[in-house]
């Protein structure tokens, strides 16, 4: 047994299929291998949150809460979810009581690791979700994220400061979340060394192979002392997904950071998931995923989004504008204060860049969400957005500019408001879980309930 084994979090059940096959894996695809996955000895199995919740309701006719129950029934390994702070899994800031209710329910249903991030790295957007997770009676592991990006204002020193804040807030570990695979090997080495020196809690690294660095970045991070790395089994690894589990296990065999995991035991599991991937690509007629592209360092678009943008242009008959779009992304990002590009900022910046390219005139049409991001509604951007740009280019009124957004007074609808709204629509006795699904994805959840509630006099659960 190695002195200081690297732990592995397996992402095949969440980020792996979110990055490569548009999050279309069903619980039936997972069930046959849960026992085998459980026996490997992973640090955690990432299996919930991110886009899985929305996709369950929207495309797979699955109740995400029931999926979690099934996972929990079959797994002793901690189940990890990805949570977007005050956004939860939706696209708005929710009121504090909705955040508390959601986190409490997720913990009750079996989440063992809450990985919590904010697209702008604004800790005010993380505070309530972190507190809610720390208060759960099941005592889940609470992890805070540094959303990694490159810009003229992002430095390793700044990331270390942010990590210290997360530690002070009570997080049990910190994750470097490199959703677009921008973290270069030697930069990772430096960042991990600095974090290990400054913090007392474990450091985890999450990357994607989008620009081709993945495995090399993990190796340098391991040498620098990173505690946990996120990997996906071979069929759901590489390209826009995580580095490969089996490869990393093999690479570290016989070293003082040997994972101790049984690579042979992974072979039949990987074989099963290769079949699942092929089936999904055929069933949903997916275009397939994108290969390694080092230019992602410039346009910084996260894995899942590239294909969406390409499709948007295709639908508009403007496929030839693809390169223009990739060139426009970094310009729009600079205009709006260099936010890291991750949900929801990636969609917001991506849509704005698409509009600019399609209309042939910059900022002719400006979506509401882009104005909101620019005027500070979602929190502080890494660099303040120029007032002149806000007022004269985007048409934001001076009184709409939010100088010091405080999430404490998030004024969204309360849990009771959402419940009442659902009851007013004729769903008389929704469960708390249903109310939360509805709060996050109102139209999608309503359609789902119509199919699954028995309509007697009204819809009854």
Interacting residues with Co ion (CB under 5 A): 15, 179
Q: Which residues, 6+ apart, have CB-to-CB distance to 461 below 8 Å?
A: 427, 429, 430, 431, 434, 453
Shorter beta-carbon distance to Co ion: residue 15 or 189? 15
Shortest spacing between CB 201 and Co ion, in angstroms: 21
Strand partners, 79: 45, 111
Distance CA 292, CA 216 (A): 14
User: Which residues sit opposite 146 in a β-bridge?
Assistant: 176
Query: Which of 15/246 has CB closer to Co ion?
Result: 15
Backbone phi and psi for residue 114, each to the nearest 5 degrees, phi listed first:
-95, 115
By beta-carbon distance, which residue lies closest to Co ion? 15
Q: Which helix (H) or strand (E) holds 231?
A: strand 228-231
Buried b (16+ CB within 10 A) or exposed e, 398-435: eebbeeebebeebebbbbeebbebbeebebeebeebbb
Q: How far is the CB of 206 from Co ion (least distance, A)?
A: 6
Considering beta carbons, is residue 183 or 280 the nearer one to Co ion?
183
Q: What is the number of other CB atoms lying within 10 angstroms of the CB of residue 286?
A: 15
Q: Which lies closer to Co ion via its Cβ, residue 15 or residue 369?
A: 15
**Total Cβ atoms within 10 A of residue 457:** 7
Maximum separation of any 2 CA atoms in the chain, in Å: 67
In contact, 381 and 373? CB cutoff 8 Å: yes
Partners of residue 176 on adjacent β-strands: 146, 205
What whole-number distance in Å separates Cα of residue 276 and Cα of residue 279?
5
Choose between 78 and 376: whose C-beta lies nearer to Co ion: 78
Residue 62 DSSP class: -
Minimal distance in Å, beta carbon 340 to Co ion?
A: 12
Q: How far is the CB of 307 from Co ion (least distance, A)?
A: 15
Nearer Cβ to Co ion (179/390):
179
In the complex with Co ion, which residue's Cβ is closer, 179 or 405?
179
Residue 334: CB minimum distance to Co ion, A: 24
Q: Which residue from 124, 127, 228 is spatially nearest to 173, judged by alpha carbons?
A: 228
- DSSP bridge partners of 228: 7, 204
SS3 206: strand
176 contacts 365 by C-beta, under 8 angstroms: no
- Our CB check for Co ion shows the closer of 179 and 444 to be 179
**368 backbone φψ class: left, alpha, beta (φ>0; ψ -120 to 50):** alpha
Q: Smallest distance, Å, CB 10 to Co ion?
A: 13
Q: How far is the CB of 91 from Co ion (least distance, A)?
A: 18
Q: Of the two residues 13 and 179, which places its CB atom closer to Co ion in the complex?
A: 179
Closer of 209 and 439 to Co ion (Cβ)? 209
> What is the DSSP annotation of 128-183?
HHHHHHHH-TT--EEEEEEE---STT--HHHHHHHHHHHHHTT-SEEEEE-TTS--
Smallest distance, Co ion to C-beta of residue 299, A: 17
Task: Compute the least distance from the CB of residue 15 to Co ion, in Å.
Answer: 4
Q: Which helix (H) or strand (E) holds 114?
A: strand 111-116
CB of 15 or CB of 62, closer to Co ion: 15
Closest contact distance (angstroms) between CB of 179 and Co ion is 5
């Amino acid at each position: 047994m190695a002195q200081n084994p690297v732990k592995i979090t397996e992402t095949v059940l969440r980020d792996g299929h979110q990055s490569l096959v548009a999050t279309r894996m069903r619980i039936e695809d997972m069930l046959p291998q849960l026992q085998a996955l459980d026996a490997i000895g992973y640090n955690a199995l990432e299996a919930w949150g991110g886009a899985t919740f929305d996709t369950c309701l929207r495309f797979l006719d699955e109740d995400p809460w029931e999926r979690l129950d099934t996972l929990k029934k079959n797994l002793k390994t901690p189940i990890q979810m990805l949570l977007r702070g005050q956004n939860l899994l939706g696209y708005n800031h929710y009121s504090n009581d909705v955040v508390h209710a959601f986190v409490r329910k997720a913990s009750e249903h079996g989440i063992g690791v809450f990985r919590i991030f904010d697209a702008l790295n604004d800790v005010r957007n993380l505070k309530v979700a972190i507190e809610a997770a720390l208060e759960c009676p099941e005592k889940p592991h609470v992890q805070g994220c540094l959303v990694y990006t490159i810009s003229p204002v992002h430095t390793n020193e700044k990331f270390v400061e942010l990590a210290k804040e997360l530690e002070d807030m009570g997080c049990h570990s910190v994750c470097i979340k490199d959703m677009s695979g921008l973290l270069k090997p030697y930069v990772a080495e430096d960042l991990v060394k600095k974090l290990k020196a400054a913090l007392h809690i474990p450091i985890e690294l999450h990357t994607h192979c989008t620009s081709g660095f993945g495995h090399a970045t993990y190796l340098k991070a391991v040498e620098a002392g990173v505690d946990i790395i996120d990997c996906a089994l071979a069929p759901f690894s590489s390209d826009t997904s995580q580095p490969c589990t089996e490869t990393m296990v093999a690479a570290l065999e016989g070293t003082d950071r040997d994972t101790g995991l049984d690579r042979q035991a992974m072979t039949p599991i990987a074989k099963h998931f290769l079949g699942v991937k092929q089936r999904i690509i055929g069933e949903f007629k997916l275009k397939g995923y994108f290969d390694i592209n080092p230019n992602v360092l410039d346009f910084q678009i996260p894995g899942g989004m590239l294909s969406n943008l390409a499709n948007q242009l295709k639908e508009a008959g403007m496929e030839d504008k693809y390169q223009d779009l990739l060139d426009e992304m970094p310009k729009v990002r600079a205009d709006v204060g260099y936010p890291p590009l991750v949900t929801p900022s990636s969609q917001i910046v991506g849509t704005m860049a698409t509009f600019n390219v399609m209309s042939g005139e910059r900022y002719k049409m400006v979506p509401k969400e882009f104005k909101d991001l620019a005027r500070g509604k979602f929190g502080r951007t890494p660099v303040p957005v120029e007032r002149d740009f806000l007022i004269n280019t985007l048409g934001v009124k001076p009184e709409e500019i939010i100088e010091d957004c405080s999430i404490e007074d998030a004024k969204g609808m309360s849990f009771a408001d959402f419940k009442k709204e659902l009851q007013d629509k004729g769903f008389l006795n929704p469960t708390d879980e249903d109310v939360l699904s509805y709060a996050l994805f109102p139209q999608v959840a309503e359609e789902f309930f119509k199919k699954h509630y028995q309509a007697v006099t009204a819809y009854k659960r």
